Amino acid sequence: MMDYKILFLDIDGTILRPDDTIEDSTKRAIAQVQQKDVEVFLATGRPLHEISHIGDELNIRSFIGYNGAYAIHKGKDVFKEPMDTSIVEHFVNIAKQHGHEVIMYTNEKNVFTSLDVPIMKEFIKRFHLRKNALLTPGIVNDILGMTLVNLSENEPALYEKYDNIHLSQVNLEGFRHSYDVIRDNVNKGFAVEMILELLNIPKESAIAFGDGMNDKEMLKAVGEGFAMGNGHPDLFAYAKHKTTEVTNSGIYNGLKSLGLVH
């Protein structure tokens, strides 16, 4: 059997079910691989200051956040890659012109173009965002990630005129109007490669699970990439394996197929 050393797990739609709970089979599977000295990272588009409770529940202390812009290994910073200030300012201006909203993430708080419109209140509630503030001029220098909200089907093209930027639709029911801003050179795959190099782990010994298009680079950066059964239809082309849904022991079944859990 391959000597697997590291496991990267997306959160929403991969670990977390639609009701924000974690299956017992997922908890068991993660505990079993940890007992085999497999490093486990949470790898998410979410800001890291909002997910410590998930790490605590699963006994995980290593994280990739903001779609690959910031990584922590066992409580210590590994790297931080803020977004280009001019891109942040330009996207905020486009959003204002077209009635969109923007959430920007620093390593300390979530910065909103508006906090009182219903669609943003819904977003805050769904993702349990607590450290929230309104946009102020100086903050654009510290942005690690962005989510665009309230876009219609054809409007992502307004933002994709920049080289090295693409949008990834949020793969959650009720939030298909929301898109994460992904940099071609700073994404979950970039972060995974940085971590593998840091820890001197070959790609073949790495496993990853994801469900959204912001996971495609991560699934390609490991030896064993699993797309969840509930994943975005376009994601399956980037995954070596397809497992079952997040509501049907997807992580457990995937790890079992590799002989890592029983």
Block residue for tokens 């307004």: 158
Q: Model-level pTM greater than 0.85? A: yes
- In the three-class reduction of DSSP (H, G, I as helix; E, B as strand; rest coil), residue 244 is classed as coil
pLDDT in tens, 2-32: 899 999 999 999 999 999 999 999 999 999 9
pLDDT, average across residues 151-157: 92
Rounded CA gap, 89 and 136, in Å?
11
pLDDT at position 55, please?
96
Instruction: For the chain, list the domains and their CATH numbers.
Output: 6-81+186-257 (3.40.50.1000), 85-183 (3.30.1240.10)
The neighbouring-strand residues paired with 35 are none
pLDDT at position 43, please?
98
Q: pLDDT grade, residue 104 (50/70/90)?
A: very high
Decide if pLDDT at 137 tops 80. Answer: yes
What residues contact 145, with CB distance under 8 A and at least 6 apart?
A: 45, 47, 65, 66, 67, 69, 83, 104, 105, 180, 181
Decide if pLDDT at 166 tops 80. Answer: yes
Decide if pLDDT at 141 tops 70. Answer: yes
Q: Which of 21-25, 43-47, 71-75, 157-161 has the lowest mean pLDDT?
A: 157-161
pLDDT, average across residues 87-107: 95
pLDDT in tens, 191-237: 999 999 999 999 999 999 999 999 999 999 999 999 999 999 999 99
Straight-line distance from the first to the last Cα atom of the chain, in angstroms, rounded to the nearest whole number: 15
pLDDT at position 210, please?
98
Indicate the average pLDDT of the chain: 94
pLDDT at position 47, please?
93
pLDDT at position 21, please?
96
Question: Nearest Cα to 7, choosing from 213, 199, 234, 249?
Answer: 199
pLDDT at position 2, please?
84
Q: pLDDT grade, residue 1 (50/70/90)?
A: low
Rounded CA gap, 38 and 57, in Å?
17
DSSP tag of 125? H
Residues comprising the chain, all counted: 262
pLDDT at position 256, please?
97
Question: Nearest Cα to 206, choosing from 1, 46, 16, 2?
Answer: 2
Exposed, middle or buried by CB within 10 Å (0-12, 13-18, 19+), for 43?
A: buried
pLDDT at position 122, please?
93
The neighbouring-strand residues paired with 105 are 110, 145
pLDDT at position 174, please?
83
